[in-house]
Structure 1
């Protein structure tokens, strides 16, 4: 079991990474002297796979567990779904000290985190990510949000969890497409801050896709460490944390214009290639590194282009990006594997050319 410390602002918490991490949740709750009344928020599919056994184990250790479920899908990361969870919390007569356990992927983590942050002005939050994407990215750093209209994560708050439990054993239940979805965020982490991780991905992508335990834990730990290091220095997205949006400016726009029918990893993969092509054209990023990036994205089972996209729609969606300041959008561009810069010198014409390539 690996323990990764995260220290954003006044908050301090641990991320526990390894096979069997779920078994440690009960002892953590007792050690932290949290209430023996818990609320588990998940979706029906994940509850059947992992939630029922977790609930039973917690009950055996003396915890009373209420379960609230939300249907699976990005479309349920909404204010309406949050309202339904508020109703459920009210009906269950929870108290402010009642911990919320968010068991699921990025949608559940974001939604349950948003609800925990806002109900009664804040309830303790335990993130229990069950997808690779959530384990390396969305469960760490305290960003919670719901979508609004066609815009992703438009309404939200920063709210740090009390702990994160990333059990690598649960990833064995993921479909291949979901694993590839998460690998996009692992690749992103390598490009922005860990060239050794990038080398590992180049050498051992096959082992990762077959869920080799040692390789998987190493990759998750290194990717999560990149995220933890950045958010510990910039909790509120004032500057440095923008680096984590490498590939996401275009990626979020793709998700929006397709009505969230394209999954996050696929969109971010195309976004990373688009940003890297722009960097190449600006003379910032070596062509050989662009080729390495495209090769590793392809090896992960992800696309490097989406010719069916309507580029004009993507450009329009980018105008609504949360990183827009003074009418200019901040882009994260690589300068070499393991290092990126933040710039507002990218115009939409450059994005259009890169998307059309």
Structure 2
């Protein structure tokens, strides 16, 4: 077993992200991250992760911590007020107190949900995140942003609630479907565009190797992406300014997800969102044509979409973007690049530029939705 430890936050809010292989071969690795005094733990998981959840629960029981397993729906259907309410009811029925904890085991939707339930139960209990998808490892499980969806948009109800630890065992990725792995790489590439150009170089050098879940190149990409997020989160825990750069490509991406009824993978929608905002940056004098082309080339090399061929109209997408968390009043706000690795904000772009950017990602569209 080899492990890299990446620290996030400072002071009482500090915690470690463990990245390596074979980490969950010893399921007590999760129990050891729990704060002293925990007597009960709720293990939130989707059905496909039931066996792993049981192993983690058994390890907790062996350490004298009572484990309650709670299965939830897979994918975005887990992130609803109804599912959260069911977990709150379970916590109440099982007598969970403020010194008990939650463990989230699964993809980004499950870690978002588990974190939100932990943040809101008794105004906050400890949570350990065990992400089992690449997307969750490099994005959702790290940084303490938790939330659920509503009919009006994605992650509109949520809370900032840092975990007490995150365990990223890369071995679980070997069974991940290739399309899901590629979707996770979209968030990795995002970190390359906004902060670490070496990520882009590693992907461009050998895209197939970058997408090999058993390879060392992917491990380096994961570690680099987590470090980017850790540095940004440590500097801006509550997304008051700098942390918004991690939303690169997400304004249009989240709109696609909502309009498509969450049938698109998050990373696929963000991939198109990055091309959309790159086109917007070019039209507003921030980014060169060559840099826009690089967006398309890197994402295409990983099998990710760079155009929107869905059923939503521009009007529906524009309305959804208006509900984005970065919006202030009626003014849309986008994270754009002033050249690679130099993120900045663009506030209130002209409607003509928005429509032209949409036309650029729509005109190129391949047939059908992503895989």
Match of 2:314 among 308, 311, 316: 311
Please list every run of 5 or more consecutive structure 2 residues that lacks an aligned counterpart in the other structure. 361-371
1:47: which partner in 2? 50
Cα deviation, residue 130, structure 1 = 0.6
Contact 1:8–1:141 at 8 Å: present in 2 too? no
2:40: which partner in 1? 37
Q: 104-113 vs 50-59, which deviates more?
A: 50-59
Cα deviation, residue 102, structure 1 = 0.4
1:209-254, CA deviations, whole angstroms, 9 ceiling, x for partnerless residues?
2223311211001001111111111111111111111100101111
1:353: which partner in 2? 356
1:39-80, CA deviations, whole angstroms, 9 ceiling, x for partnerless residues?
2111111224x2233333444444431101111121220111
1:76: which partner in 2? 78
Cα deviation, residue 34, structure 1 = 4.4
In structure 2, how many angstroms separate the alpha carbons of the residues matched to 1:211 and 1:306?
A: 27
In structure 1, how many angstroms separate the alpha carbons of the residues matched to 2:136 and 2:161?
A: 16
Contact 1:150–1:257 at 8 Å: present in 2 too? no
Give the 3 Å change call, closer, same or farther, for CA 153–28 of structure 1 in structure 2. Answer: closer
Match of 1:197 among 199, 205, 209: 199
TM-score when normalising by structure 2? 0.91
* Superposed structure 1 runs of 4+ greater than 3 Å apart: 27-32, 56-63
1:133: which partner in 2? 135
1:77-129, CA deviations, whole angstroms, 9 ceiling, x for partnerless residues?
01111000011112222222112110011111111111111111211100111
Contact 1:9–1:232 at 8 Å: present in 2 too? no
SS in 1 for 2:182: helix
Contact 1:9–1:235 at 8 Å: present in 2 too? no
Contact 1:8–1:234 at 8 Å: present in 2 too? no
Cα deviation, residue 336, structure 1 = 2.2
In structure 2, how many angstroms separate the alpha carbons of the residues matched to 1:155 and 1:251?
A: 18
1:162: which partner in 2? 164
1:231: which partner in 2? 233
**Count of aligned positions:** 356
Contact 1:41–1:112 at 8 Å: present in 2 too? yes
1:292-335, CA deviations, whole angstroms, 9 ceiling, x for partnerless residues?
22111111111100133411110111111111114211111122
SS in 2 for 1:323: coil
2:345 paired with 1:337: no
1:266-300, CA deviations, whole angstroms, 9 ceiling, x for partnerless residues?
11011000000111222321222221221111111
1:159-194, CA deviations, whole angstroms, 9 ceiling, x for partnerless residues?
110011111111112111111110110010110000
Match of 2:20 among 12, 18, 21: 18
Q: 333-342 vs 128-137, which deviates more?
A: 333-342
Contact 1:140–1:164 at 8 Å: present in 2 too? yes
In structure 2, how many angstroms separate the alpha carbons of the residues matched to 1:265 and 1:27?
A: 29
Q: 334-343 vs 121-130, which deviates more?
A: 334-343
2:363: which partner in 1? none
In structure 2, how many angstroms separate the alpha carbons of the residues matched to 1:30 and 1:6?
A: 18
Match of 2:94 among 88, 92, 95: 92
2:120 paired with 1:118: yes
SS in 2 for 1:307: coil
Q: 201-210 vs 154-163, which deviates more?
A: 201-210
Match of 1:152 among 151, 154, 157: 154
In structure 1, how many angstroms separate the alpha carbons of the residues matched to 2:225 and 2:265?
A: 20
Question: In the TM superposition, what are the counterparts of 1:168-247 in structure 2 within 5 Å?
Answer: 168-247=170-249
Q: CA RMSD in A?
A: 1.7
Contact 2:196–2:341 at 8 Å: present in 1 too? yes
Contact 1:77–1:147 at 8 Å: present in 2 too? yes
Give the 3 Å change call, closer, same or farther, for CA 42–348 of structure 1 in structure 2. Answer: farther
In structure 1, how many angstroms separate the alpha carbons of the residues matched to 2:68 and 2:208?
A: 40
Give the 3 Å change call, closer, same or farther, for CA 114–8 of structure 1 in structure 2. Answer: farther
SS in 2 for 1:152: strand
2:279: which partner in 1? 277
